[in-house]
Structure 1
Amino acid sequence: MKGSTKTMKDIAIEACVSVATVSRALNHPEKVAVKTLQRIEKAITVIGYTTHKVKRIINPEQPKIILVVIGSLSLHLIKETIDGIEINAAQHGFKVLINNVGQPQCSVEDIVNLTRATQVDGLLLLGLTTPCKIDEVDELKLIPMVMANEFSLSCRVPSLHVDSLAVAFEVVEYFFHLGHTQIACILGEDQGQTTRNLLHGYTRALQRYQLECDHRFVINSDLTYEAGKNAFSALMGLPERPTAIFCQSDTAALGVVREAKKMGISVPTDISVIGFGNTALAKFSSPALSTVNLPNTLIGQTMVQLLVNKIEGDPGSAYSKIFAHEVIMRESTAPLAEMKRVETVEPEFRAATV
């Protein structure tokens, strides 16, 4: 029997009890007779079914552990989130394990194997798209989990993220009011909801301001520094070049800036660039990178609080939250030199300047 197919019914059959009794043992062991609990514990050991609740029954003295599974996010982007996770986890008496899978998607079987191998009490998925049926897998139903920086419309796992559609719309809108009409974007390779929403916001803003939506101006990449350089080279090879670029990561945006310098193209005189994440590198680059600020530390802290609430059985803890973002203008954006700005047109939002 494969681990991913094991259910409470298997435990019940092995222990010669009802599924309801197994459920009661996992959720309220104090309400189950000692001998019955011992039979269930033995059955669990025999079939190898392990979750955080099972672990607590068998050995209540084991340390409390939260597993953070990271997708393909830039380490610079997630550092503050991890800091927030570790600070709040320590305050609640949890140790933190980190597993970087290095890819944007993780299968249900992979997640089951990770949780079984590490014997965790809770799971945090960071920048990781998941199969829509993850919350329908019996073994994973018993493991509290929270997602951040990515979400699924069809998955009931609580998620914490910014409104990525609004982010892209505001960035394009800001570029437009600087006089730019040839606006490109560099997005992630995955088809997670965040990337899709960024693309939707980008195209919606182009339509709002009656700008041409040229598919050649949309480049999907792994959002690394080298990917940013390569994407910029590809964009500069087009018959009509963009004068403004929005990148889904600061790292890729810095690659764009570096390649522009190499090609003798001035940022921001010749081309404006906006990143995503407001990492430390963005602030101290030359020119300082305009970017979208995300409340990463707060997101990390909130992830842990939601997870702890779920672990402790709080029925009101399973909710998702959209955090506020902020477009921060620094030195990598400027009005298009060839165009006189129309001062009577006001943007629908105000960007911060830091």
Structure 2
Amino acid sequence: MSNIKKVSELAGVSTATVTRTLKSPELVKPKTREKVLRAVRESGYRPNAMATVFKRGRANSIVVLVPKLVNPFFMNVIEGVQTGAKKHGYTVLLGDTKGKSELENQYASMVLNGRADGLIQLDYTFPFSKDDTELGQNAAIVSVCDRIGGYKFPFVELDNFGAARALTHYLIELEHTRIGIISGQRASQIYFDRFSGIARALAEDNIVFEDELMVGDHASFENGREGIKTLMALDSPPTAVICFSDDIAIGAMFGAKELGLSIPKDISITGFDDNPVSQYFDPSLTTIKQPAAEMGERAVNMLIQIIDGNPPTRLREVLPFELVIRDSTGPAAH
């Protein structure tokens, strides 16, 4: 497929001018616009995008990229997205990327070929392919839950630092001083913020965190199951474990029971998200409640502002958390 550089060479203009012509043709001089459009036709670059330029209309739809569609937390976010989109007269196109870049690229291209007016990303990655990077940087995008690293797109997120700090202080009040962590993706901003919150709380109580107490690298039941076994095999195992998602925590609880441990008598386990199943697990899970649906709806509101040419004045919107205390935590075993 031809790329934007080839179009710019054929038209005798810069790639920035090509981008501007495809995105906002009314801002380009007629003579220049015609040269670019002719080059696009000759090169075969983005024929669907051309149809959108000629149509000068909107698809009245937004595409949402979801790394794991079956995740209950993401499903709640999507519910909020759909609520917000309906209020604005937009339909929602779901892209289950399964965390794979090629699927992200495929779904993200819908914004460039006119099938969608904007994009909401629920992961931390830039969703456009290398060839589409220049155009993608100028697309209407909002990220929710996490941030797209290296780019200044607006985002909606939880106060992950504050939530992790509060959760850690709660465990310290229960006399836990050796606290383990089973984390999710370590390349994400969520990981950095939550770990920073835990580290701050420990430091405030003069507790030293040891690197061996951190395990895990993705949000799954199996990560939790294997992570708890790794932690409990340490010469000095933790008395409490903070999991970076409810899925991880449920896996950790299953693994702890396989080891013959009693929760919370032998080990306290906490999660993050407050998925519906968390309150029905045995024992019920202490966790951080995220206002998932509200996050999704606010992301839509920000995105529509951008589509309408009125980008939000603030790039970051932070929502509050709630510490939900249930039966999976208790006083430290001595």
Using the size of structure 1 for normalisation, the TM-score is 0.80
- 1:146 alignment partner in structure 2: 142
Identity of counterpart residues, as a percentage?
24
After TM superposition, list the pairs within 5 Å mapping 1:1-354 onto structure 2. Answer: 2-3=2-3, 5-6=4-5, 9=8, 13=12, 23=20, 26-27=23-24, 29=26, 41-50=37-46, 55-60=51-56, 63-71=59-67, 75-103=71-99, 113=109, 115-116=111-112, 119-130=115-126, 137-152=133-148, 154-316=150-312, 319-338=315-334
**In 2, Cα distance between equivalents of 1:108 and 1:59:** 26
Indicate the SS of the match to 2:163. Answer: helix
Using a 3 Å threshold, how does the CA distance of structure 1 residues 81 and 46 change in structure 2: closer, same or farther? farther
Q: Deviations over 1:47-68 (max 9, x none)?
A: 4555998554323566322111
Answer whether contact 2:65 2:122 (CA < 8 A) is retained.
yes
Structure 1 residue 221, shift from structure 2 partner:
2.6
Mean CA deviation greater in 65-74 or 251-260: 65-74
Q: 1:7 and 1:92 mapped to 2: Cα distance?
A: 38
Distance in 1 (CA, whole Å) between partners of 2:272 and 2:187 is 17
**C-alpha distance in 2 between matches for 1:7 and 1:160:** 36
Cα displacement (A) at 1:21: 9.8
Query: Does structure 1 conserve the Cα–Cα contact (< 8 Å) formed by 2:124 and 2:149?
Result: no
Q: Decide whether aligned partners of structure 1 residues 277 and 19 sit closer, same or farther in structure 2, where only a CA change above 3 A counts.
A: closer
Cα separation, 1, equivalents of 2:213 and 2:22: 57
Q: Tell me the amino acid that sits aligned with residue 92 of structure 1.
A: H
2:205 is aligned with what amino acid? Y
SS where residue 89 of structure 2 aligns? coil
CA offset at residue 106 of structure 1? Answer: 7.9
- What's the offset of the Cα at 1:308? 0.9
Deviation of 1:204 (Å): 2.2
CA distance in 2 between counterparts of 1:51 and 1:302 reads 33
Instruction: Supply the distance in 2 between the matched residues of 1:21 and 1:185 (Cα, whole angstroms).
Output: 48
Contact 1:159-1:321 at 8 Å conserved across structures: yes
Q: Which amino acid aligns with 2:76?
A: E
Q: CA 1:316/1:116 → structure 2, altered by over 3 Å: closer, same or farther?
A: closer
Q: CA deviation at 1:317?
A: 5.5
- Kept after mapping to 2: 8 A contact 1:7/1:139: no
Rounded Cα–Cα distance in structure 1 between residues aligned with 2:185 and 2:100: 8
Contact 2:222 2:248 in 1 (8 A): yes
Question: AA paired with 1:215?
Answer: D
Structure 1: gaps (5+ residues): 339-354
Cα shift readout 1:191-228 (whole Å, capped 9, x = no counterpart): 11111122222222222212231111101232211111
Contact in 1 for aligned 2:2/2:43 (Cα 8 Å): no
Which moves more between the two structures, 225-234 or 97-106? 97-106
Equivalent position amino acid for 2:209 in 1: C
Contact 1:41 1:58 in 2 (8 A): no
Measured on the aligned residues, the alpha-carbon RMSD in Å equals 3.5
Q: Is the 8 A contact 1:22 1:40 kept in 2?
A: no
- Specify every segment of 5 or more residues in structure 2 that has no aligned partner in the other structure, as ranges: none
Residues 169 and 143 (structure 1 numbering): CA distance in 2 closer, same or farther, change over 3 Å? Answer: same
Distance in 1 of aligned mates of 2:39 and 2:137: 19
